[in-house]
Structures are given as C-alpha cells and as structure tokens.
Amino acid sequence: MPDSLTLAKLEPLRTEENRYPIAVIGAGAWGTALALLASSKGIPVYLWARRPLHARAMQEERQNSEYLPGALFPESLHPTADAEEALQKARFAVVAIPSRAMRETLRLLPKAPAYVSVTKGLHFTDHHLLRMSQVVEEVTGVSRVAVLSGPNLADEVARFLPAAAVVAARDPQLARQVQQVFSGASFRVYTSSDVVGVELGGALKNVIALAAGMVDGLKLGDNAKAALITRGLREIIKFGVAQGASEATFMGLSGLGDLIATASSPLSRNRSAGERIVKGESLAHLQAQKTVVEGIYTVKALHAWDEETGADLPITEAVYRVVYLGADPLDELSRLMGREAKPE
C-alpha cells in the first residue's frame, strides 16, 4: 500500500482523550481503517476479530493482510480475539460488523457503555424496518448509540488520504467524543443530531451504487449514470424524510457525498458488485465473498418494507428484481424510462 500522509504527520490529541481506550468490533477493512485512525493518534485501540487465527496473524504481522495489506499498525493498536480484553475498559465500542451478523455477534459479547455503529445496512423483521443503531440498542439494551457515516472508502482512509465524515447521536456529548477520537490531519469529522438521516443515507446509497454498477457494466454512458444517481438521491430523500429525517442531511456528507463516492469509485464494493451482476455473477457467489456487499441485503429489506407499506421506490424495486429475481436489467431500464411523465 503506497504511503500518502505518514503517521508522524498526524496531530496527537491535545487533551486527556488518549488515556481512554476504545474497542472496534469487527476486523474487516472499515473497522481496521478506523482503528488505524484512532491508534495513530496514540489512543489505545482494541481491534476485535471473530477468528482467533485472524487476530493472531494481525498481532504477528502488525497489519491486517487479509483486508488492508500494507497498512502497518501503530504500537497502540491491539488486535485480539478476546472480547473481554477488547471491551472491559473501552469508553465506547465501534461496531463494524456486517448487518447480517449484527444480532448474533452482539449477543455473544460483553456490553460497552456506548456504541458507534458504522455498518451501513437495514434489517426488516416483524413488520419493522430497523436501522443498525436500533439493532444495537435492541440487542444490548444500551441507549447511548451514535452512527458514523460519510464518503469513506476504507483503502483511502487507511492510507491517510483526506476524507470527512459525520457522527450523529441523540447524546451530543457522545457525538463530540467520537468526533475528538477520529478527527485528525487526514480525517475531518462533523457532528449532527439527525441519527435517522445520517444512517439512512449511508444504507440506501448502497442500493443506488448497485444500480450505478449495472449502468457501468452495460456501458450505458455517463448521461445515464448521472441521471440514475440524481434520481436515486431523490428516492433516498423521499424515503428518508418519510422516516423522520431532515432533507438537508441528505445533501451532506452522509447523503450526497457518500452516494457520489460509492456509485463512482472502482474501490466501491457495491458499485463493483452491480457491474459483476450484469456480467453474469450469481447472487450466491456474491454472498459467499469474504468482503460483504451490504447493498444486496439492504435492497431485500427495502423490498419487504415496500411490499408491506406500498412505498414508491422504483429504482430500489428494479435493483431487487435484477438481483433476486434474475430480471433483465435492460427490461428494468425500459420500465423506469417508461414511467409516467411528471415534474421534477
């Protein structure tokens, strides 16, 4: 992994924050990138891996060669498979677990005093559509839960390329704590009180990114992709506002910003998955991959919600039909283009 900004250029915290450890639950690419950000400032970070062999490899190699090869660990980053070790002194735990494994994993772990969800997904269960922060609160019983989201490709963050994110929480003190821990020379964190908007922007953009990848795979051109992203943003806003979010949130980092990065970058797993789907890769093969494509689970949850409520999510439904029903993406495009003409 090429160097960009060296660790020495990161500004250490000017307060006593670096005395308090944090835990990162989940040693995939994004969890590891966040662990690098905080530990590079001298904050003790315990990076919990589900598999002991994975934790041992990170301890010995001082990097996560499975997900982020070349990003060397500072001394204050402590990989472990011992959940008690990771969580016993943590001021908060960052939850970087794939959405499909969120419940079962959190049930097995000790509780933290607060949580920060960075998983961009949705659950549909018992006639309810749940955001990941709601799942965390439901499973742990802990009400101090924040969400961190934005246009943050893990590989670039781990290389300390400039990036920004937003942390939202009902508890402003928790939001400020998270902001202080992760803010640095290469990563700027803003705060928000709109938990619903920040979280939904991060989850729903993965569905639009799948569609953008399909456009790329079919070589339909930049005009088509720009139109898709724009109308996709409109669909995200319409859905999010109906769930109680502020429309302005979706024009910020966790909405438009995240959508641009995820729908455009070759590093985006969801965009790449959409491209692979139209080239013949099966859903089963996608689900079996080591790196999780959250959009394929989010679109399923949104489809279930759509059927339950009659919400109007045309792009989401088109993506669902292609991914789960094997529909021809060109037929779905024709369906979208043939919708009733109306004002923008």
Axis crossing angle, helix 314-325 with helix 195-218, rounded to the nearest 10: 60
Only one residue has tokens 């998955």, namely: 273
Is 111 known to be catalytic? Answer: no
Q: Are 25 and 111 in contact (CB under 8 A)?
A: no
- The 3-class SS string of the chain reads CCCCCCHHHCCCCCCCHHHCCEEEECCCHHHHHHHHHHHCCCCCEEEECCCHHHHHHHHHHCCECCCECCCCCCCCEEEECCHHHHHCCCCCEEECCCHHHHHHHHHHCCCCCCEEECCCCEEEECCEEEEHHHHHHHHHCCCCEEEEECCCCHHHHHCCCCEEEEEEECCHHHHHHHHHHHCCCCEEEEEECCHHHHHHHHHHHHHHHHHHHHHHHHCCCHHHHHHHHHHHHHHHHHHHHHCCCCHHHHHCHHHHHHHHHHHHCCCCHHHHHHHHHHCCCCHHHHHCCCCCCHHHHHHHHHHHHHHHHCCCCHHHHHHHHHHHHCCCHHHHHHHHHCCCCCCC
Q: Say which of 41, 120, 205, 225 is annotated catalytic.
A: 205
Enzyme catalytic residues? 205
